[in-house]
Amino acid sequence: MAVYRRSRRQRFALVVLILTSITVVTLDFRGDGAVGSLRSGLRDVFAPAQAVVARVFSPVTGAFGGISRYRGLRSENERLRRELDTAKAEALKGADASRERRLLLALGGLDFAGEIRSIPARVVGYAPSNFAVTIEINKGIGHRLAVGMPVVTEAGLVGRITEASWDRSTVLLLTDPASAVGVRLATSGEVGVVKGAGQRRLLPLDLIPVEAELKPGDAVVTSGLDGGLFPPAVPVGRVVMAKVEPGALAQEATIEPTVDFARLELVKVLLWTPRP
């Protein structure tokens, strides 16, 4: 009898905990401000302790990162050597064009950020989960950042801020499966959508019509259409492969992002929010 009563009590405790979890999930889904505020507030409370722990263990994480990236570094070294040889040959040819480009950059004509002001931030961590591809940066609402702002490096688009506390922000990377970016082909002007597919992978480029001219190497930039999540002309990647399956309504294409997501250290947050 006592065992039965104890078992019933245990099941009751489980039901209470499950119902509490489901209630919190539901409140968060409905965009309840209290849950969001509690989350960002507690994250700020934990942030200093997290920074101390990260600093104490930094030799371990640094050494591990070096070991796990060793093979990648070797192949990258070989690739860079080949590229350097090619670049040396091209250097003389491109000297004049390069000078012109520098002048234009100095005028601000080719800078993809244009007039948009930006704030630099340091990457302080990756997502503490295997089911999200995000980074944490060391700036937040206290530095004028807000949810929705685009994050870039000089190479191009990194992602956008999805959560911000006082001095920390979470950035959803372009490669996260939940990410979808409206893009335009720099050559033909056709618009499409680049979707995330996890880190170190080629990203699918969808909705490009079959009649559009698309070839490997074509540059892909953000479309900047009204209501879009990003300003126009931010570099996203280059087309790697494009083909048309018989009977398909759109081309099957993939792009390689211009940003190296495995080595993000410093980023810039554009002080730009999507137009409603």
Partner 1 sequence: MTSDPRFRVPLVVVTSVLIHTAVTSQLRIGDTSPDLLILLPVTAGMVAGRSIGAAMGFGTGMALDLFLTSPFGLSALVYCLLGYLVGAFQGGLVAVSPSVTALAALAASAVGVLLYAASSAVLGQPVAVDRLVTVVGLVSVVNALASPLALRVTRWALVDRSRSRVMA
Per CB under 8 A, contacts with partner 1 among 75-114 are none
Using the contact rule CB under 8 A, the part of the chain among 110-118, 145-153, 168-176, 241-249 near partner 1 is: 168-176
Shortest Cβ 15–partner 1 spacing (Å)? 10
- Give CA–CA dist 60/237, Å, rounded: 33
| 65 belongs to the binding site for partner 1 (CB under 8 A) | yes
Nearer to partner 1, 116 or 124 (CB): 124
Among 111, 114, 118, 132, binds partner 1 (CB under 8 A): 132
Among 109, 142, 199, 248, binds partner 1 (CB under 8 A): 199
| 126 belongs to the binding site for partner 1 (CB under 8 A) | yes
| 166 belongs to the binding site for partner 1 (CB under 8 A) | no
Using the contact rule CB under 8 A, the part of the chain among 11-19, 87-95, 104-112, 183-191 near partner 1 is: 11-19
- Give CA–CA dist 32/136, Å, rounded: 23
Per CB under 8 A, contacts with partner 1 among 19-38 are 20-25, 27-29, 35
Using the contact rule CB under 8 A, the part of the chain among 112-120, 130-138, 139-147, 149-157 near partner 1 is: 130-138
